[in-house]
């Protein structure tokens, strides 16, 4: 009986934490987190590429929420959308770094050629959900696999003299602009500077399921069974840079073995070899809450 009561209490606490709005009281004390840079990107695919109604226009709306966070930000963007970023971020003065990229440049990359080769060779035809975009659109995965490269570039240039760096998907704004839980973050800084110490010498990432040390990495690709979420992750710049370099190595290994999945599979492969680099945030069991990691670094 005592064990059952404790389990019930834990589930109630878990549910409360899942459902509570983000706390941004610290914004009254800190106009910006002076030690953190957020990194994001928006490179559009043709409308209809996803097959689920997602369009470039819709992604721009979602990204508007990300761009409204009052924090140092490095944005990788196509030239035709650079003015959109400047207009959306105009109230934040010199807190924005814009780096232009092009689809043509990405389509000429070695990553694109490897992805195209694996798709054309039908090496993943027996994979789970083999019709998903990762296994049919080379540019999509080229963009996904560029995320650690973009973050590494931001760390190395370090425009804002930051210690902490976070990747945040443009699409994560979908979770922010539609959910009352996260609207309070608009025009406010994140993460809470008083929680910077939680990021020292580690990288924080959302675990979508229980992570064990003994997993067959090839099977993760075939079963589309990654255990980490790729929408929001980051931490101490030195640790994140080690992760980015390991991501590149694991990506090369997957190409050599004709394996293809999304960036989360590569992230999981890195974690299984280097768990000491990571702080895992357990996924909330009651809701599909992609934004939950934001609340780990908020505060009154």
- Domain range holding 82? 21-296
β-pair partners for 203: 235, 278
Average pLDDT over every residue of 102-125: 96
Mapped onto helix, strand or coil, the DSSP state of residue 36 is strand
Give the global pTM.
0.93
Asked whether residue 3 is assigned to any structural domain, the reply reads no
Asked whether residue 64 is assigned to any structural domain, the reply reads yes
β-pair partners for 271: none
**130 phi, psi to nearest 5 deg:** -70, -5
Asked whether residue 196 is assigned to any structural domain, the reply reads yes
Q: How far apart are CA 18 and CA 10, in angstroms?
A: 12
Q: How far apart are CA 284 and CA 282, in angstroms?
A: 6
Q: For residue range 167-219, list pLDDT tens digits in order.
A: 999 988 876 766 678 888 989 999 999 999 999 999 999 998 766 555 688 99
- 189's CB contacts (< 8 A; 6+ apart) are 26, 27, 30, 31, 32, 33, 69, 70, 71
22-31, 47-56, 183-192, 219-228 — which is least confidently predicted? 47-56
111-125, 205-219, 241-255, 259-273 — which is least confidently predicted? 205-219
Q: How many domains does the chain have?
A: 1
Asked whether residue 16 is assigned to any structural domain, the reply reads no
Beta strands 72-77 and 96-100, pairing class: parallel
- Give the ranges where 89-137 is alpha helix by DSSP (H): 103-107, 110-120
Asked whether residue 252 is assigned to any structural domain, the reply reads yes
C-alpha angle 76/80/83, rounded to 5°? 75
Asked whether residue 11 is assigned to any structural domain, the reply reads no
Q: For residue range 35-44, list pLDDT tens digits in order.
A: 999 999 999 8
Q: How far apart are CA 21 and CA 132, in angstroms?
A: 33
CA distance between the termini of the chain:
35
Asked whether residue 10 is assigned to any structural domain, the reply reads no
Which CATH number goes with the domain that contains 90? 3.90.550
**100 phi, psi to nearest 5 deg:** -85, 140
Query: How high is the pLDDT of residue 18?
Result: 76
DSSP 139: H
Q: How far apart are CA 222 and CA 138, in angstroms?
A: 17
Q: How far apart are CA 196 and CA 198, in angstroms?
A: 5
Q: How far apart are CA 208 and CA 104, in angstroms?
A: 34
User: How far from 169 is each of 59, 62, 91, 230, 264, CA to CA, in Å?
Assistant: 10, 10, 21, 8, 13
pLDDT cut 70: percent of the chain above it: 91
Helix axes 138-157, 110-120, angle to 10 degrees: 160
Asked whether residue 106 is assigned to any structural domain, the reply reads yes
Higher local confidence (pLDDT), 257 or 214? 257
pLDDT cut 90: percent of the chain above it: 68
Mapped onto helix, strand or coil, the DSSP state of residue 281 is strand
- 152's CB contacts (< 8 A; 6+ apart) are 241, 244, 245
The pLDDT-based confidence of 64 (bands split at 50, 70, 90) is very high
């Amino acid at each position: 009986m005592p064990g059952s009561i404790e389990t019930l209490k834990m589930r109630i606490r878990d549910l409360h934490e899942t459902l509570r709005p983000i706390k941004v009281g610290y914004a009254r004390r800190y106009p910006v987190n002076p030690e953190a840079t957020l990194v994001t990107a928006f490179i559009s695919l043709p409308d209809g590429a996803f097959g689920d109604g997602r369009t470039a226009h819709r992604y721009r709306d979602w990204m508007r929420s990300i761009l409204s966070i009052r924090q140092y930000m490095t944005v990788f963007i196509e030239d035709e959308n650079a003015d959109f970023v400047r207009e959306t971020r105009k109230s934040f003065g010199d807190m924005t770094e814009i780096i232009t990229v092009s689809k043509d440049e990405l389509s000429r990359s070695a990553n694109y050629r490897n992805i195209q080769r694996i798709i054309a060779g039908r090496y993943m035809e027996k994979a789970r959900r083999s019709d998903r975009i990762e296994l049919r659109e080379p540019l999509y995965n080229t963009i996904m696999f560029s995320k650690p490269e973009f973050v590494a570039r931001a760390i190395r240039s370090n425009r804002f003299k930051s210690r902490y760096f976070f990747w945040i998907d443009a699409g994560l704004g979908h979770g922010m602009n539609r959910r009352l839980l996260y609207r309070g973050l608009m025009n406010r800084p994140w993460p809470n500077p008083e929680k910077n110490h939680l990021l020292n010498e580690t990288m924080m990432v959302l675990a979508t399921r229980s992570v064990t040390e003994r997993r067959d990495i090839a099977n993760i690709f075939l079963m589309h069974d990654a255990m980490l979420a790729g929408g929001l992750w980051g931490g101490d710049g030195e640790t994140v840079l080690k992760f980015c370099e390991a991501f590149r190595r694991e990506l090369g290994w997957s190409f050599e073995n004709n394996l293809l999945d999304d960036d989360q599979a590569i992230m999981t492969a890195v974690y299984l070899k280097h768990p000491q680099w990571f702080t895992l945030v357990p996924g909330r069991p009651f809701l599909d809450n992609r934004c939950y990691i934001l609340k780990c670094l908020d505060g009154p």
